[in-house]
Each structure stands twice: as C-alpha cells, then as structure tokens.
Structure 1
Amino acid sequence: IKPFDVQKLYNHLTEKGLSARTVRYVHAILTSAFSQAVKWQMLVVNPCNVVTLPRLKKTEMKAFSPEEARRFLEAAKDDKHGLVFAFALASGMRPEEYLALQWKDIDFEKNTATVQRTLIWRKGGGWYFSEPKTAKSRRTLPMPKNYFIELKRHKRQQAEQMLKLGQSYERNNFVFATDEGKPLYLRNLRKRNFAKILEKAELKGFRLYDLRHSTATLLLSEGINPKIVSERLGHASIILTLDTYSHVLPDMQKEATSKLGQMLFG
C-alpha cells in the first residue's frame, strides 16, 4: 500500500460527498492501523504520513442555552410540526433519523425510541430508507416521560386523520408525517416551520442541525458523562464526541475542580 492508494481513497470519499471531518476520521483510523503495521515490520513507512487531507469547513456550530431552549420549545408549541423539533432537541438524533421513525420504533411502556433506518430523499424526487450512518447509530434512546404524553396525543390525532382520508392516506406508519401520511421533506420543514419558530422565539443564526448540537452541549454542560452523550448521539466513537464538543470541556474541568476541592478541603 502506497501513499497514492490512500490519497485515491480520500479523494473518492470526498467526491462521494463525505464531509472533511469524516474523511479525517477515516484517516485517523488508517494512520493508527498502518503505524501498527510498521511496528510489526509489515510496512517500511506509514503511507498516511504524506497524504493531503481535505480542509475543514469553518461552519460555526451553535447551541441553545437552557433559557434559549425553553424559548424555542415554547414557540414550537404553536407550530404544526412543533413536536418534531421538540423530539429532535430531546433525542439528539440526526434529522434523517427522526424523520424515518415509524410507530413500531416507539415503545410507550418504556418511553423509548429506536433508530433502525434513515430517510433519504432522491434529487429527482421520491424517497427511500437507508442504513444508519454507523453501527453505533442503531440505538434505543430513553425519552422524557412528559414528551411521550404529547406523542400519544399526536398518534391519536394522526389516526383520526387516517380515518378521515381513508384510502387517500398513505400508510407508511411514520411517526412524523404530512396530513396525507407522506414523509416530511427536510427542506420544507426547515424553511416553512423551523425558521418561523426561531423568529417567534427571537433566536437568530441557528440551523436545524444545531438542535442536535444543543442536545449534546446541554448534556455535557450539566456534567453528563461524555460516553453517555456519545452513545445518545450515535457517534462512532467517544473521540469524535470529544473532538466536536471540545468547547464545553473547559467549563467541565472547572466544575470538576470545584467539586474535587469541596470533597478534599470542604
């Protein structure tokens, strides 16, 4: 294996649409593997040492403060699809995960939601189910009990709509769907609903994906173990979680130091 082979792989992944962060994550894994191969004298040099990595896009990641999160949820109550955004914030799921949820993935007795698939829209129209992003993306998440009370009400309303439309209602069994039972289109959801909620809550500069970032940041800032947060987000490893949310760690260190001081010195 030569540097050219590794570079060719990275270029291929980039052309397929994978983000620079993902390619760099692949690079970290390969670098580690090839380093071991060098130690075992299976390779003379590590081919990853001289390849060119894609540049990271400087997209500013934003997250709600607890007060902003409450304002957002309050404003979302009046939106037709407000329950979708509340779910996103409470779960930390990726948009393609929560929009793919079917009622069989919801356990009202245990108050859990299970990720088993993702929803993908074709460029030319139409949609299909795909596999979750990583093996660890398949996960079952405990959800707030109060939220599930609202979700039960939503399910009853959906059943009433289904009876009303009869054969015209598409029985895809989606948790979150249009009035006709079709899957929600992410772009429409972002422009027609999410943007209006932000405006009503007087919140600026947030993207839909920032709901996921907010979940992680809020949990980490409350001192929740990063391993638990990583599992909730469905990250491939805790390394990715710590790298993505490193901005939260200094405050966690301060709080840990304070608690240690109280334990040791009163």
Structure 2
Amino acid sequence: MGTTKRRQAGEGGISEYQTKAGPRFLIKYPVLQEYGTKRVVLKRGYKTRRDAASALRAEIRRMETGEWVNPSKQPLAAYLSEWLDGQRLAPATLASYRKNVRLHVVPRLGAVPMDRLTGTAVDAWMRELEVSGRADGQGGLSPRTVRYVYTILRSALADAVKHGRLAVNPTDRSTPPSPSQARPPEMHAWTAPELARFLRWADEHDSDIAMAYRLLAYTGMRRGEALALRWRDVDLDAGRVAVRRSVGVVKDKGKGEQLVEGATKSGQSRVVDLDAGTVAALHAYRAVRGSIALDLVRDTALVLGTLAGGHRHPERFSRQFVDHQLQARRALGEEQLPVIRLHDLRHTHATLLLAAGEPVKVVSERLGHASATITLTVYQHVHPGMGRQAADRFAALLDG
C-alpha cells in the first residue's frame, strides 16, 4: 500500500472540512513578512484534494521565485488616502483626484478590503455611477466622468501591484466606458465675422475685459495661461508673448479654495507671435493701466490682473464671458452670434487657421499641444472640408 508523503516544515499543508455543499479543502502555508516575522496563510474553497495540492504548489513556487504577494486586507479608502498623500501632481490635479475619490469612490467601495475588490465589483460600481453617481442626487455621471474616476482608481491600484500590496489589478478585469463613449462635449467655433462682431461689441462696452477676449482669440492660449501672463512675458517690440505658466482654482474640502500658479498643461513653455493689431491694442491697454497705477504695468504685474493686482478668478472670468455673450446676442441678434464657451475661443483660433490652410505644425505650436498629432485628432472636423480644396489645388497644378 502506498504511503502519503508528509510535507516538510515550511511546505504547508492541506485539510478537509465539511460544508452544506459537501467536503471542501483548504491549504495553509507559512510566509515570511516584511519585518522577518512569519504568519500562516489560509485559503479555502477547493473542491478536491488535487485542486488544493495544485494551488499549494503554485503558492510555494511563487514564494520561492519572489513572485508571491501578500494580499492587502487594508480597506480601499485607507489605501487611497495614503496613496493620494504620496502623489506628485499639480495642485489642481491633486485636488481633483481627492474630490473624485471622496465623492465617487469612497462612498461605494471605500469599506471593501483591497484583496476582496474584483473586476466584477468595479464594473458594478461604474454602472452605479452612470445611473446615480451625482453628488447632488440628480441622476448619473457622464461616461466621460466615469472613465476619469476609473482612471484614478486604476492608477492607484497599479501602484498597489507595483509595491507588492496586490497580486493583480482588479481594474484590468473591468470594462470602463470606451474612449468614444467618453469623448468630450462637441466643440463649437465662431466664424471670422462672428468673432469680429463679438470683439467689436466687447471693446465698445468694456475695453478692459475686451483685451482678455482678444488675447484668447488671437493667440489660442488657454484661460489659465492668459490669466497668468505677466508683462515680463510680453515683448511688444518683437511682437510675441512667452507662455510659461497657468493659474487654476484649487479646492480642498475644509480648506476653501485658492488660486495657484503652475506649469502649462503640457508642462512646456512656448512663444506665440502676435499680429500688429494685437500689439497696438496691448500698447494702448498698458498705457491705460499705467495711468491707473504704475504697479499694474511693472514687469512682474499680471497683464490681465485685477485693479488690485491679483489674478482674475478663472471660473468667474468664464461666467463673465457667458454674461457678455448673452448681452451681445441681445444687442446684435441671436442669429448673428451662436452660443459658445470661453474655451471655444481657443477652438475658434485653431479652426480658422486650419481652414485658411495654415500648416498643422504651426497651429499645434501656437496652441501648445505636445504634438501635431493631437492637433490633427482634436480638429479633424476641419479637415474634411479642406480635402476638396486640396484636390482642386492638385488638379490645378496639372491643368496649369
């Protein structure tokens, strides 16, 4: 009769136990922890002794090769708090991560131990966000927002795997909204006559704020970049501005909000050339500011700052644009001025240049995109209409 080979110390063991569904088997094996102490790991639920033996051999092999990971019993909320504290991100980005974790992850998944989080649970969480995820209780979150929150969770759990806290990332086994489902809202752009119409109206009603609108429209700068521009960044003799930084609103629960300057979105500085008309407008604007207070035109002063010398609040600035746009539409006629967002002045700048045949690389550099490929992707709606022009130009070359 054959004998069962006894396992040596340190090799673990297999035990049988009874359940309502019949006999089951568990495995147990010792593991060496971070500080040199040992503990015994138990895993239950194997239907046959053979399955249990196979699982035990796999666990021992992973320990021998250094691949074994001690599943973390830490609740997800506690881990995410620790993870966020260790992130090196721009202040506005970190504040956004904290807000989304607090509002959308912790209430539903925060109490779940990390080793119990599954791809199925992540999928159910995302579906719940889409149905009833709004913090105000007024329905669900957009696919774009759900994908953004999922990306934060995925990044956090990827670090848990990297640092040996988890064996696998459960988000690898989940299905977030696709990039096409999470695409940004459709952009709108004014035509050249519509933009000129609005800027004339703004200049007649508030020349101070009109300068801000003109800079955004004529350079393609982002809102935060324009509001962080200082006179030392403006070379009126050479007709160019250096875009070096951006200002944003950082909101931390319990700490209120503050305006913080940081790098541009791409992290890179760039130089944007100005047309003669904008240079002349800046000369006149600076003269008016200087007549109010010399401090407003010093090299360190903000070009578009408040009369007190501080930053304009980015979100209030956007709301001011909405108010001015509504006033202009009433004055000029709604059909003369379609509704757009402040950010669409940037889209208008790019769309008009591309439609006029300006090389994509030039437009990309003005916008501060990391590559021309991004410009092509974002503004691909401009290109179909340009295809016919290209075909006609090619034919004209041969006909000539």
TM normalised by structure 1 equals 0.76
Unaligned stretches of 5+ residues in structure 2: 1-86, 88-92, 101-142, 152-171
Higher helix share: 1
Tell me the distance in 1 between the aligned counterparts of 2:272 and 2:266. 16
Cα pair 1:132 1:138 within 8 Å, conserved: yes
- Counterpart code for 1:62: H
Matches within 5 A, 1:170-181: 173-181=301-309
Counterpart in 1 of 2:194?
68
Counterpart in 1 of 2:203?
77
Tell me the distance in 1 between the aligned counterparts of 2:211 and 2:373. 31
Q: Residue 193 of structure 1: CA displacement?
A: 4.1
Q: Residue 253 of structure 1: CA displacement?
A: 1.0
Aligned-residue identity in percent: 30
Counterpart in 2 of 1:96?
224
Q: Residue 76 of structure 1: CA displacement?
A: 1.6
Q: Residue 150 of structure 1: CA displacement?
A: 1.2
Which of 268, 274, 284 does residue 143 from structure 1 map onto?
274
Q: Secondary structure at the match of 1:174?
A: coil
- Counterpart code for 1:151: L
Cα pair 1:139 1:234 within 8 Å, conserved: yes
What are the superposed Cα offsets for residues 168-199 of structure 1, whole Å, 9 maximum, x if unpaired? x7975100011211111122222234431453
Which of 284, 290, 309 does residue 153 from structure 1 map onto?
284
Q: Secondary structure at the match of 2:247?
A: strand
Cα pair 2:286 2:297 within 8 Å, conserved: no
Tell me the distance in 2 between the aligned counterparts of 1:223 and 1:107. 27
- The root-mean-square deviation of aligned C-alpha atoms, in Å, is 3.2
Q: Residue 50 of structure 1: CA displacement?
A: 8.4
TM normalised by structure 2 equals 0.52
Matches within 5 A, 1:96-245: 96-123=224-251, 124-135=256-267, 137-163=268-294, 173-200=301-328, 201=332, 202=334, 203-245=337-379
Q: Relative contact order (alpha carbons < 8 A, sep ≥ 6): 1 or 2 greater? A: 1
Which of 243, 254, 257 does residue 391 from structure 2 map onto?
257
Tell me the distance in 2 between the aligned counterparts of 1:81 and 1:261. 47
What are the superposed Cα offsets for residues 183-233 of structure 1, whole Å, 9 maximum, x if unpaired? 111222222344314531542320000000000000000011111111111
Higher strand share: 2
Tell me the distance in 2 between the aligned counterparts of 1:133 and 1:256. 33
Unaligned stretches of 5+ residues in structure 1: 1-11, 28-47
